[in-house]
Amino acid sequence: MTANAPGQVCLMQGNEAIVRGAVEAGINFAASYPGSPSSQVLGMLGKIARERGFYAEWSTNEVCALQACTGASLANGRALCVVKQNGLLCTADALHCAAQAGVKGGLVIVSSDDPSAHSSTNEFDSRWQAMSAGIPLLEPTTMQEAKDMIPYAFELSEKVGQLVLIRVTTRVCHGRGNVTLGPLPEKPRALERVREWDRMVCVSYMHGPALQKLESLRECFETSPCNHYEGPEAPKKLIIAGGTGRLYGQEALRRLGVDKETGFLSLGTLWPLPESYILKRLRSAEEVLILEEVDPFLERAVQALAGREGLRVKFLGRDNALPAVGELDPDVVTSAICALTGAALPEKKPTGELELPVREMSFCAGCPHRATFYLLKRAMRQEKHPGVVVGDIGCYFMAGQSAGQYAWQTCNCMGSGVNVAEGLGQLTNYGLDQKVVTMCGDSTFFHTILPGLVNATYHNANMLLIVLDNSATAMTGFQPHPGTGLTAMGDHVKPMDIPKILDAVGCKVEVADPFDVVEAEKTLRWMLDQPGMNVLIMRQPCATLMTKERSKKPVRVYVDQDVCIGDGCGCDKYCSRVWGCPGNTWDFKKNKALIDPVTCVGCGVCAKLCPSGAIKVEGGEEA
């Protein structure tokens, strides 16, 4: 990653290519809050930051990250901010203000979108934020472009004094490809003291200059090396592609044998549109297919361009020839190209693949969240009127499914739980006759819960916030957060003490261990009966963190099948069916429970819940 070997070809993942690009760009500063599919980028940057002489941090949230980058830029530093789609939306105010103020040192945001929401709650399209904020937008398709666009974006950013947004998608972040390395700068860009009359402010009169910056970029983009065209000089059928659709499109054209007569315009600079460059091919076109991920962003922009120029073009895209939602794939792109070119749709070869049964996502074996949500369901059912539970985002998002006993009724975005619950909690003074519960992870607690916590405590909402303190940002791969005592650059610092923070805020606080099921349920039920703002910290490290610990004192958990009631009355597969740990499986031959020793991490909770005492725990602490 830090080898100074220009011209060397390396096989790289997209996220690695972004890191390499940042190193080649000589960044001074990098900040991020984790989020798929770009979570790995800052982790890698943190590891090489000292060696390359820049600073890298896992910020508490994306707003912190972007605004810190803005600070670095003011001192002429090159700053890279890495966020996922939702994170970019979190920064909306900061982004729009920074776009009006402009930048000094280059400021590049990499925002990763997750079409089809493989590891997200939903699909989003970051590109609208560039249009809305009035900043330039690039999108790579190959790993090489992912690397090359980083230094290119920094140059653009400094050339016009504006932030640059690079949009990437899951296939780019996680895909692999050859990357030819570029040279490394000797040292990072020189910082400059901020002078008395330096200004980087967001005021209304900066709107005009910001638009001018955008216009001047349009000119650069007309000749940008990021855009390519292949095909006839004056194509009748034209494909315009941005992002991963391009590779599918090029392959399909060749496979269908219509690549000669079809124009193929690949755009890497998406905003502002290189209008002349596009019009050169668009003028002759009768039909245009637009290939892009998530929303019809280019489609709308090119339609507007065609309309303005009075062109009569038929557009194919997300509105008609392609599914309106979901990631593009070779099949949908091929059939869209057939629709465009009239080529016959090739018969699909039977894949011979077995259709795998769809398995619902679940918490890991030994996950503390499973115990918390098991107890929460029991507690809710014991209420006279079952309470309302508000979800939040983390691994515990899965609590909305069977893994968490279908815990919650509503879930919005990171940090929303405490606020949604505050609203409900206030209404309990106005006739809403039920308990209100919400939850957050420890990382989310710092990310966006704090203001809501203050709000709910100050206004004394009747509610319970459960902090699922698993000592980790587990969902995205164990990045440090302020509660962990670690930083991205590997420093050990003083961890923030959540109970102390809560004490200072002034809400009622209790700490329980969700694996101590009897005591934890008592504490939970007691807290549910307390008026005002209550916080229960369910503390038990993430199973993945504990695996190492436990390997020191191996625990064997097994089922005594002679005692097991199995599916008989009195149990009905309580361990595997209700508790649902992946370690608790079923012996179909004997019709009895079984523990999969490979999956089981030995937490021993199922043994506490088995109604017949058939589950035995051997070794470990208890022994």
Ligand X SMILES: Cc1ncc(C[n+]2csc(CCOP(=O)(O)OP(=O)(O)O)c2C)c(N)n1
472 binds ligand X (CB under 6 A): yes
> What's the rounded Cα separation, in Å, for the pair 470 and 551?
19
| Beta-strand runs (E) in 3-86 | 9-13, 29-32, 55-58, 79-84
Position 599, amino acid: T
- How many other β-carbons are positioned within 10 Å of the β-carbon of residue 383? 14
Q: 275 or 587: whose CB is closer to ligand SF4?
A: 587
Which residue shows structure tokens 């790993």? 143
Tell me whether residue 130 is exposed, middle or buried, using C-beta atoms within 10 angstroms of its C-beta: 0 to 12, 13 to 18, 19 or more: buried
The residue number whose beta carbon is nearest to ligand SF4 equals: 583
Question: Looking at 169-177, 186-194, 292-300, 392-400, which segment touches ligand X (CB under 6 A)?
Answer: 392-400
Choose the stretch contacting other proteins; rule: CB under 8 A; options: 42-50, 143-151, 487-495, 561-569. 561-569
Q: Whose Cβ is closer to ligand X: residue 426's or residue 547's? A: 547
Residue 110 touches ligand SF4, criterion: CB under 6 A: no
584 binds, among other proteins, ligand SF4, ligand X, none (CB under 5 to 8 A by kind): ligand SF4
Which residues in 428-467 contact ligand X (CB under 6 A)? 440-444
Please give the size of the binding site for other proteins, defined by CB under 8 A.
17
Residue labelled with tokens 């019009």: 279
Stretch of residues binding ligand X (CB under 6 A), selected from 139-147, 319-327, 348-356, 471-479: 471-479
What, of other proteins, ligand SF4, ligand X, none, does residue 33 touch, CB below 5 to 8 Å by kind? Answer: ligand X
Which residues are CB-contacts of 320 (< 8 A; sequence separation ≥ 6)?
Answer: none
Please name the amino acid found at residue 227.
N
Q: Do residues 441 and 396 lie in contact, with contact meaning Cβ atoms separated by under 8 Å?
A: yes
Q: Which x/- pattern, by CB under 6 A, does the window 43-82 give for ligand SF4?
A: ----------------------------------------
Strands (E), 175-261: 176-180, 228-230, 237-242
- The least distance separating ligand X from the CB of residue 543, rounded to whole angstroms, comes to 11
Among 612, 618, 619, 622, binds ligand SF4 (CB under 6 A): 612
Comparing CB distances to other proteins, the nearer of 229 and 586 is 586
CA torsion sign, 85 to 147 to 264 to 132? Answer: positive
CB of 235 to ligand X, least distance (A): 41
CA distances from residue 46 to 186, 442, 476 in whole angstroms, order as listed: 19, 21, 16
- The nearest distance, CB 404 to ligand SF4, in angstroms, is 15
- Partner whose binding site includes residue 381, from ligand SF4, ligand X, other proteins, none (CB under 5 to 8 Å by kind): other proteins
Q: Restricting to residues 577-606, which ones interact with other proteins according to CB under 8 A?
A: 577-578
Q: Does 567 bind other proteins (CB under 8 A)?
A: yes
The Cα 164–Cα 153 span in angstroms is 6
Instruction: Decide: is 572 part of the binding site for other proteins (CB under 8 A).
Output: yes
Question: Does the footprint of other proteins cover residue 571 (CB under 8 A)?
Answer: yes
Q: Where are the beta strands (DSSP E) in 29-158?
A: 29-32, 55-58, 79-84, 107-113, 137-138
Residue 198 lies near other proteins (rule: CB under 8 A): no
Q: Which of residues 30-59 bind ligand X (CB under 6 A)?
A: 33-35
Which of 33, 270, 301 lies closest to 149, judged by CA?
270
Residues 543-602 that bind ligand SF4 (CB under 6 A): 557, 559, 564-566, 569-575, 581, 583-584, 593, 595, 600-602
Smallest separation, CB 401 to ligand SF4 (Å) = 18
Note the Cα 621 to chain centre separation in Å. 37
Residues 23, 528, 536, 615: which binds ligand SF4 (CB under 6 A)? 615
Task: State how far the Cα of 582 lies from the Cα of 605, in Å rounded to an integer.
Answer: 13
- The one-letter amino acid code at 255 reads R
**342 to 381: interface string for other proteins, x by CB under 8 A:** -----------------------------------xx--x
C-beta closer to other proteins: residue 212 or 382: 382
Placement of tokens 């009127």 in the chain: 385
Integer Cα distance of 543 and 549 in angstroms: 10
Q: If binding is defined by CB under 8 A, does position 522 make contact with other proteins?
A: no
Q: Are 224 and 196 in contact (CB under 8 A)?
A: no
Runs of H (alpha helix) within 102-163: 127-133, 143-160
Interacting span for ligand X (CB under 6 A) from 85-93, 234-242, 266-274, 311-319: 85-93
Q: Are the C-beta atoms of 157 and 28 separated by less than 8 Å?
A: no
Q: Which residues contact 347 (CB under 8 A, 6 or more apart)?
A: none
Q: Which residues bind other proteins (CB under 8 A)?
A: 377-378, 381-382, 384, 405, 567-572, 574, 577-578, 609, 611
Residue ranges in contact with ligand X by CB under 6 A: 33-35, 62, 84, 86-87, 90, 393-396, 414, 440-444, 468, 470, 472-476
